[in-house]
Amino acid sequence: MSQVAFTQTLERLTAKGEHVQFWLRDDDAVVPTVALKRLLDLCADHSVPLTLAVIPRDTGEPLATALQARDNVAVAVHGWSHANHAGTSGKKQELGSHRPLAETAQELKAGFDKLSGLYPQQFIPMLVPPWNRIAPEVIEALPALGFRSLSVFGPEKDAVPPLLNSHLDIMNWHGVRGGRDPEELFAELAKLLDEQGRPKTIGILTHHLVHDDNAWAFLQALMAATSGHASCRWVSARGAV
């Protein structure tokens, strides 16, 4: 019944003349895969803009060629190598305070330059930190490196550069490492929509490389329910910050 409750929430917004914006961020892209093509086709079928967080170190021309004709795709910088520098005792981080700031900044600049060169039309100067974690001193260094926005997970705060976050992670990273139950996800979305002070733009976070039937079923149902709905707008990260 949670999808029904979600749809009813959208109808209430319509009746009040209100609307909600969604944006879609998918992490860990490196090379063309069957799963990535499935996601790209799904987005194209429903006219949903997609932001791909690409890992710069390991990517190259094959992915750029595969995305060349996809005018609904924006490409953001997903760290440099998606390597964990926090050791085994703490939460995984690539962009923490475990290394000299100059080393981290050099890698981020290399990632920025590589992706902006590979994607002259699709690149956006957004940083998506691996594991959604980044040290304050790294954030402070971002504008000088060319970054104009930052995307992590959770409620946005006033920051420089400005935040455009994801708010709903469709994956269950503990235990099954598959997609969460679609009804649970729709219930969480309905709650987000009903909350006072809900995000201006609700971010949906996906990881195409590990999607299972639950993940694909939720995305299909969500896009079918929202694409073209009077109270819903899917927006690109390019214009949402």
Of 47-61, 63-77, 89-103, give the lowest mean pLDDT range.
Answer: 89-103
Average pLDDT over residues 133-161: 96
Q: Residue 167: pLDDT band by 50, 70, 90 thresholds?
A: very high
Cβ-Cβ contacts under 8 Å for 190 (sequence gap 6 or more): 2, 5, 6, 9
Please check whether the domain covering 2-6+20-240 is classified as CATH 3.30.70.20. Answer: no
Does the pLDDT value for residue 108 go beyond 80?
Answer: yes
Average pLDDT over residues 203-231: 96
Question: Angle at Cα 72 formed by Cα 201 and Cα 69, nearest 5°?
Answer: 165
Q: Residue 196: pLDDT band by 50, 70, 90 thresholds?
A: low
Q: Residue 1: pLDDT band by 50, 70, 90 thresholds?
A: low
- pTM for the full model? 0.95
Does the pLDDT value for residue 14 go beyond 70?
Answer: yes
Q: Residue 200: pLDDT band by 50, 70, 90 thresholds?
A: confident
Does the pLDDT value for residue 106 go beyond 90?
Answer: yes
Average pLDDT over residues 6-29: 93
Among the residues of 48-165, which ranges form H helices? 61-67, 101-118, 136-145
CA distance 126 to 164: 9
Neighbours of 11 (CB within 10 A): 13
Handedness of CA 121, 125, 220, 5 (dihedral sign): negative
Q: What is the pLDDT of residues 19-31, one digit of tens each?
A: 899 999 999 999 9
Residue 150: strand, helix, or coil: strand
Where do the structural domains in the chain lie, given as residue ranges? 2-6+20-240
pLDDT of residue 15: 92
Q: Residue 88: pLDDT band by 50, 70, 90 thresholds?
A: confident
74: which 2 tokens?
């924006």
What is the rounded average pLDDT for all residues in the chain? 94
DSSP assignment, residue 180?
P
pLDDT of residue 97: 93
CA distance 57 to 30: 9
Does the pLDDT value for residue 223 go beyond 90?
Answer: yes
pLDDT of residue 232: 95
Of 84-93, 135-144, 162-171, give the lowest mean pLDDT range.
Answer: 84-93
- The closest of 169, 172, 175 to 205, measured between CA atoms, is 169
Does the pLDDT value for residue 86 go beyond 80?
Answer: yes
